[in-house]
Amino acid sequence: MTNKSLFTRLFITTCSLFVFYALLLSHFITNNDLFGPSSITLTIITLLLLAYLFNHYLSPISQSLSAIDNGISAFKDNDFSLTVHNKKFVEINKIINIYNELANVLRSERMDIFQRELLLDTVIQSTPVALVLTNSRNSIVYSNIAARELFKQTKKIEGAKFETLYSELSETLRKATLAKASGLVTDTHHEQNIIYNVDCRQFMLNGSEHSLYLYKNMTSEISRKETDMWKQVIRLISHELNNSLAPISSLTRSAQKIMNQPEHIHMLNEVLETIGKRTKHLHDFISDYAQFARFPKPDVKPVSLKSFFLDIERLLDVNCQFDVNFKTANFDAGQIEQVLINLVKNAKESDSPLEDIELNLTQHANLITFSVCDRGAGLTDKQMKQVLLPFFTTKPSGTGVGLALCNEIIKSHHGELKLTNRKHGGLCVSFSLNLAH
């Protein structure tokens, strides 16, 4: 279908009307009746016809623009169902096509969003994590089935005040909720410990502040992980004990034979020294695990950063860079020193050249960051996920305690141990301490 032009039709019709009017007017002039009743009547009729023509030919534009205006107003109410009939007029064809295309896109997007929201709601309703979303007035605007079960409600709780449901929680969970705390909370129910991971977050939604409360029962998961960890500990200790006790037992029998054979008595001292070495190794191994189990709380005190760094530099004998403006910071100097010693020791055991090992202390705003970098082999993706777990080691003779102990020390200082592979090979281990702490 070809496009039609309203203005062309209006122009041709108007020109024809004026030609007809001019011919009749010339007739009245010839008969000296220019201002007579007939000529005045003709002029009025011509003007009325002209007005009718303008209204008739321009009404499709007016109607189409009015329909587009109604459609755009409907967009504000998330109604994208209105489309405009296109009569293929040149003057409004393009804008109608653009509007209809926009409506189709928005309608399709709206349907996709609706389907995704439906899928997301299904997932959230099925998850065992209790979820409650409240607005700035502390009214519940969204919750799931697990939340209703946690708060012992049989029907939907949307619209209710969140504080009216506090009484259904145990005292421990209620205190954590009121404090908007985040972390593990141990609750007692029928003389059994139940561990919840409580998480509360604030954010802006539609220009208004909202709070999201999450309650996840971690009891079975933590119990399973604890069991797996103890099994791993038992296997490691059993393996290490067997590796030490078997040769000690063999060497003891050899010592007994030597004592019965005086001619070989000179070999007894060597056998006893070997037994002593294996016993010391076993003692060191057990001491490492005991140290991890007896991990003390940090004794936080003001520390002169420059003096602390100079002591570390003399102790570790690696390249050190100091770039900090603050003079003091609060932390346990002994524990942080132990962390840095362990990290540099790991770097030296990574087959990195000694000159490529660096210890840096830098400052960013109110954070001071310690980083130990090397040019060793780095870590694989699998190792990166497990390297901070207790008893996991990448070394043939490692116990898997050192890095885990470092991680616990940094956590107790409100920090986080971060490991990243360097671009051209090697590993960088860093942690930051907040001067505000």
pLDDT, one tens digit per residue, over 105-124 is: 888 888 888 888 888 888 88
Decide if 417 contacts 336 (C-beta within 8 A): no
What are the pLDDT digits (tens) for 406-431?
Answer: 888 888 888 888 888 988 888 999 99
Q: How far is it, in rounded angstroms, from Cα 405 to Cα 127?
A: 34
Hey, which residues does 373 pair with through a beta bridge?
Answer: 358, 428
pLDDT band at 272 (very low <50, low <70, confident <90, very high): confident
Q: Taking the chain, what is the end-to-end CA distance rounded to the nearest angstrom? A: 76
Range of lowest pLDDT (126-140, 200-214, 217-231): 217-231
Residues 378, 421: Cα–Cα separation, whole Å: 6
| DSSP string for residues in 347-414 | HHTTT--GGG-EEEEEEETTEEEEEEE--S----HHHHHHTTSTT--SSTT--S-HHHHHHHHHHHTT
**What integer pLDDT is reported at residue 383 of this predicted model?**
78
Provide mean pLDDT across the span 203-228: 79
Q: What is the pTM of this model?
A: 0.42
Tell whether the torsion through CA atoms of 174, 175, 180 and 184 is positive or negative: negative
Compare 18 and 431 and report the one with higher pLDDT: 431
Instruction: Round to whole Å and give the CA distance between 173 and 192.
Output: 15
Supply the pLDDT for residue 237.
67
Q: Which of 69-73, 320-324, 358-362, 395-399 is predicted least confidently? A: 395-399
**DSSP β-bridge partners for residue 358:** 319, 373
CA angle 109, 110, 112 (to 5 degrees): 65
Cβ–Cβ under 8 Å, residues 135 and 115: no
Which amino acid, residue 275?
I
What is the spatial distance between Cα 370 and Cα 342, in angstroms, rounded to a whole number?
13
pLDDT score for 56: 66
Q: Which of residues 306 and 258 earns the better pLDDT score? A: 306
Whole-angstrom CA distances from 166 to 104, 169, 187, 389, 391 are 47, 5, 15, 36, 41
Lowest mean pLDDT among 176-190, 201-215, 312-326, 415-429: 176-190
45-54, 92-101, 140-149: which has the minimum mean pLDDT? 45-54
Secondary structure (3-state) at 26: helix
Span 185-198, average pLDDT: 77
Residue 248 near residue 278, CB atoms below 8 Å: yes
Amino acid identity of residue 361, one-letter, is L
Q: Residue 123 belongs to what H/E stretch?
A: helix 90-126
Looking at per-residue pLDDT, the higher value among 65 and 104 belongs to 104
Q: Which of 410, 411, 388, 391 is nearest to 399 (CA)?
A: 391
| Distance separating alpha carbons of residues 393 and 94, to the nearest angstrom | 69
Structural tokens at position 225: 């992980």
The pair of structure tokens assigned to 180 is: 């908007």
Mean pLDDT of the chain: 78
**Antiparallel, parallel or unpaired: β 418-421 and 427-434:** antiparallel
Residue 23 is predicted with a pLDDT of 64
Q: In terms of Cα–Cα distance, which of 124, 138, 122 is closest to 202?
A: 138
pLDDT score at 227: 64
pLDDT over 70, % of the chain = 74
Each residue of 137-166: b (16+ CB within 10 Å) or e? Answer: eeebebbbebbbebbeeeeebeebebeebe
What's the whole-number mean pLDDT along residues 269-278?
76
Q: Average pLDDT in the 217-221 region? A: 76
Residue type, 172: T
For 171, counting Cβ atoms within 10 Å of its Cβ (0-12 exposed, 13-18 middle, 19+ buried), the class is exposed
- Are the C-beta atoms of residues 258 and 266 closer than 8 Å to each other? no
pLDDT surpassing 70 at residue 254: yes
Question: Which two structure tokens, joined as six digits, stand for 130?
Answer: 């209790």
Per-residue tokens: 321:
């860079």
Mean pLDDT of 79-96: 73
Give the residues across from 211 on adjacent strands. Answer: 134, 202
d(CA 178, CA 410): 28
Return d(Cα 287, Cα 66) in angstroms, integer: 85
Locate 138 and state its tokens.
């502390």
Token digits of residue 240: 């290490």
> Checking phi first, is residue 152 left (phi over 0); if not, alpha (psi -120 to 50) or beta?
left
As a whole number of angstroms, the distance between CA 70 and CA 64 comes to 10
